[in-house]
Chains A and B, each alone.
Chain A
């Protein structure tokens, strides 16, 4: 009975205690590192936020249209605050992963390794998305103004379609960078191709409407020209 008690209860508990004692420094180190990461991250966030605000980073982002994207996505109250938050997050995640690494288990070690291997792809995907949002905004606005100046009633629809195509392209490219749904690239190219053809057709129709009309007329109906749309001589 004593042997059974020793084998069934005492020995496992002793083993558990020994393992706990062996793991405890690692756990403590993890907690300390995470706390340290949180503290340093908070300080870094404050520094980055204040320095960028001092350098009028928000104004630059306003001009580039980044602030509108941030506001639109509800990410942060300002561009400099978002940059501070990003730096803070980087510190916290690094500290957490460093802490997990101190536990010495193959699983956490593998997790850390994979995370740092994946990090550049995540950053690249993020950059693609931000760039895509900016480009879509710019091109959307170009299409809107050109459509209004050409008296096209569906100006906002054209602008929306332009933004949609560019954002779709950026989203697919970001997913590809993350290694998600690579086969969708083929589909994306199909969408892109269709989008480009549509955009070219719209651009040709808007910017060179008279030229298009003249070309078609000269090809199929070589007759005297009609009255110009805008007979005024503005200059």
Chain B
């Protein structure tokens, strides 16, 4: 951990800034369209809700070429239009710095955490730079539980369109909840508040050359906070409306980084999760108001076709770790006509567990393994979309709740098979 993350110039700038209570980090990569608004929201939030605290906004940039850094520097608030109850005692400082290491969101976070340590701040919040629905209130909601209630980790709780965040809904939330027993609804939300104690703990871990350097950072932070007993809560932020994460990143890469991270964390916390039998709610702050959401277009036929092709072409891969009966059930689903297509929750959850077990046993290259999940995942999304076409947000939430319960019910099978070692035999649910 002796790697130097901050340049001499940045260190000098930090000396010029002086003592800081709050750091708001904004990782970015080619987000010129949205980052100005995010910086302004953070700035107003700090002035409005923390007028007596010294604050620093840090933009950790991955080498944007679209003028993102200039947008950060030029993002000023119109003090005449901002109504503040209390005159702020200190100005909000702003800093933009490139990060070092493997390109990715995690490396950007690492630099932010290093700055938190350097300035010895009391708390830190991070917000994505692709947000279009951020308001100044988010800064309060992410930081207040740390200052007033001594929570270490504040996860976001949003209202999202039913087809937005499908990796979260299908896999990451139900699996994390079943494994570690905490109902953190948006474990890879992108916006977090945390204590300096936890930020330093993250920084001290030797994970920054793994998937954690990329999209795996969010699930890694959430899982680490839960599994290592830090105080975790959620804050209701309203609607999450954002640009696409990274137009260049394909779905299978996201799966490798996010789902691969969940699977790898199962190894790290293999002594923790088998002992967890049920799940419990996590404190939720903020007022859960209703919001309007942007519709998300979805191509169901294409997703079903993807599953069909996966069943046809990836058979030699699946048959190495998926039980024959289960694979038969999957191919039967794929053979259904589009209008009757359905991938049952228990089949999906069992398949995710099969992938987790194959990852554990290193049945084949782990990158190949997780990438080969893509067609089945798209099949689940198609099935979910068909089932929820006319459902309200509350009904969709119930639907996800039922999926979570299926994951929890099938967990004993996962625990049993996890302990079997590398044998080829698998128990049936």
Q: Kindly provide the distance from the CB of B400 to the nearest chain A CB, expressed in whole angstroms.
A: 15
B197 within 8 Å of A by Cβ? Answer: no
Q: Kindly provide the distance from the CB of B375 to the nearest chain A CB, expressed in whole angstroms.
A: 6
Q: Which residues of B contact A231 (CB under 8 A)?
A: 296-299
Q: Are B166 and A234 in contact (CB under 8 A)?
A: yes
Q: Are A228 and B247 in contact (CB under 8 A)?
A: yes
B365 within 8 Å of A by Cβ? Answer: yes
- Residue in A155, A207, A235 whose beta carbon sits within 8 Å of that of B168 in the complex: A235
Q: Kindly provide the distance from the CB of A149 to the nearest chain B CB, expressed in whole angstroms.
A: 5
Q: How many chain A residues touch B (Cβ–Cβ < 8 Å)?
A: 29
Q: Can you name the residue of chain A whose Cβ is closest to the Cβ of B171?
A: A234
- Residue in A59, A141, A148, A233 whose beta carbon sits within 8 Å of that of B165 in the complex: A233
B419 within 8 Å of A by Cβ? Answer: no
Q: How many chain B residues touch A (Cβ–Cβ < 8 Å)?
A: 42
Interface residues of A, dominant DSSP = helix
Contact with A along B295-338 (1 / 0, CB 8 A): 01111001001100110011001000000000000000000000
Contact with B along A149-170 (1 / 0, CB 8 A): 1010101100000000000000
A195 within 8 Å of B by Cβ? Answer: no
Q: Kindly provide the distance from the CB of B372 to the nearest chain A CB, expressed in whole angstroms.
A: 5
A71 within 8 Å of B by Cβ? Answer: no
B381 within 8 Å of A by Cβ? Answer: yes
Q: Are A234 and B362 in contact (CB under 8 A)?
A: no
Q: Are A155 and B165 in contact (CB under 8 A)?
A: no
Q: Are A148 and B244 in contact (CB under 8 A)?
A: no
Q: Are B309 and A141 in contact (CB under 8 A)?
A: no
Contact with B along A185-217 (1 / 0, CB 8 A): 000000000000000000000011011000000
Q: Kindly provide the distance from the CB of A51 to the nearest chain B CB, expressed in whole angstroms.
A: 19
A232 within 8 Å of B by Cβ? Answer: yes
B422 within 8 Å of A by Cβ? Answer: yes
B242 within 8 Å of A by Cβ? Answer: yes
Q: Known contacts A144-B313, A151-B302, A235-B167; is A138 also within 8 Å of B254 by CB?
A: no
Q: Are B309 and A151 in contact (CB under 8 A)?
A: yes
Q: Are B317 and A234 in contact (CB under 8 A)?
A: no
- Residue in A62, A141, A210, A234 whose beta carbon sits within 8 Å of that of B247 in the complex: A210
Q: Known contacts A63-B362, A232-B296, A234-B166; is A149 also within 8 Å of B251 by CB?
A: yes
Q: Which residues of A contact B273 (CB under 8 A)?
A: none
Q: How far is the CA of A108 from the CA of B163 in the complex (A)?
A: 78
Q: Are B242 and A233 in contact (CB under 8 A)?
A: yes
Q: Which residues of A contact B314 (CB under 8 A)?
A: 144-145, 148
A26 within 8 Å of B by Cβ? Answer: no
Q: Are A145 and B252 in contact (CB under 8 A)?
A: yes
Q: Which residues of B contact A144 (CB under 8 A)?
A: 313-314, 317
Q: Kindly provide the distance from the CB of B96 to the nearest chain A CB, expressed in whole angstroms.
A: 24
A10 within 8 Å of B by Cβ? Answer: no
Q: Are A138 and B247 in contact (CB under 8 A)?
A: no
A142 within 8 Å of B by Cβ? Answer: yes
Q: Known contacts A144-B314, A148-B310; is A234 also within 8 Å of B371 by CB?
A: no
Q: Kindly provide the distance from the CB of B312 to the nearest chain A CB, expressed in whole angstroms.
A: 9
B368 within 8 Å of A by Cβ? Answer: yes
A19 within 8 Å of B by Cβ? Answer: no
Q: Are A141 and B368 in contact (CB under 8 A)?
A: yes
B248 within 8 Å of A by Cβ? Answer: yes
A230 within 8 Å of B by Cβ? Answer: yes
Q: Can you name the residue of chain B whose Cβ is closest to the Cβ of A225?
A: B247
Task: List which B235-277 residues lie within 8 A (CB) of chain A.
Answer: 242, 244-245, 247-248, 250-252, 254, 258
Q: How far is the CA of A138 from the CA of B369 in the complex (A)?
A: 12
Task: List which B282-301 residues lie within 8 A (CB) of chain A.
Answer: 296-299
Q: Known contacts A149-B375, A151-B306, A232-B163; is A141 also within 8 Å of B317 by CB?
A: yes
Q: Kindly provide the distance from the CB of A206 to the nearest chain B CB, expressed in whole angstroms.
A: 9
Q: Kindly provide the distance from the CB of B173 to the nearest chain A CB, expressed in whole angstroms.
A: 12
Q: How far is the CA of A179 from the CA of B351 in the complex (A)?
A: 50
Q: Are A234 and B254 in contact (CB under 8 A)?
A: yes
Q: Which residues of A contact B313 (CB under 8 A)?
A: 144, 147-148, 155-156
A89 within 8 Å of B by Cβ? Answer: no
**Most chain B CB within a 10 A radius of its CB, from A59, A65, A153, A234:** A234
Q: Kindly provide the distance from the CB of B315 to the nearest chain A CB, expressed in whole angstroms.
A: 10
Q: How far is the CA of A230 from the CA of B302 in the complex (A)?
A: 10
Q: How far is the CA of A211 from the CA of B246 in the complex (A)?
A: 13
B363 within 8 Å of A by Cβ? Answer: yes
- Residue in B165, B248, B297, B309 whose beta carbon sits within 8 Å of that of A235 in the complex: B165
Q: How far is the CA of A232 from the CA of B168 in the complex (A)?
A: 13
**Most chain B CB within a 10 A radius of its CB, from A65, A151, A231, A233:** A233
Q: Are A151 and B305 in contact (CB under 8 A)?
A: yes
Q: Which residues of A contact B297 (CB under 8 A)?
A: 231
Q: Are A232 and B298 in contact (CB under 8 A)?
A: yes
Q: How far is the CA of A235 from the CA of B363 in the complex (A)?
A: 27
Q: Which residues of A contact B309 (CB under 8 A)?
A: 148, 151, 153, 155
Q: Are B252 and A149 in contact (CB under 8 A)?
A: yes
- Residue in A63, A151, A233 whose beta carbon sits within 8 Å of that of B363 in the complex: A63
Q: Which residues of A contact B190 (CB under 8 A)?
A: 235
Q: Can you name the residue of chain B whose Cβ is closest to the Cβ of A208?
A: B248
B215 within 8 Å of A by Cβ? Answer: yes
Q: Which residues of A contact B251 (CB under 8 A)?
A: 149, 230, 234
Q: Which residues of A contact B242 (CB under 8 A)?
A: 233
Question: What are 22 of the A-B contact pairs (CB < 8 Å)?
Answer: A65-B364, A141-B365, A144-B313, A145-B252, A145-B317, A145-B368, A146-B252, A147-B313, A148-B313, A151-B302, A151-B309, A153-B309, A155-B313, A211-B248, A230-B299, A231-B296, A232-B163, A233-B296, A234-B167, A235-B165, A235-B167, A235-B254
Give me the interface of A with B, judged by CB distance under 8 Å. Answer: 56, 59, 62-63, 65, 138, 141-142, 144-149, 151, 153, 155-156, 207-208, 210-211, 228, 230-235
Add 5 more A-B contacts to A59-B422, A148-B306, A233-B244 (CB < 8 A): A138-B365, A145-B374, A147-B313, A149-B371, A211-B248
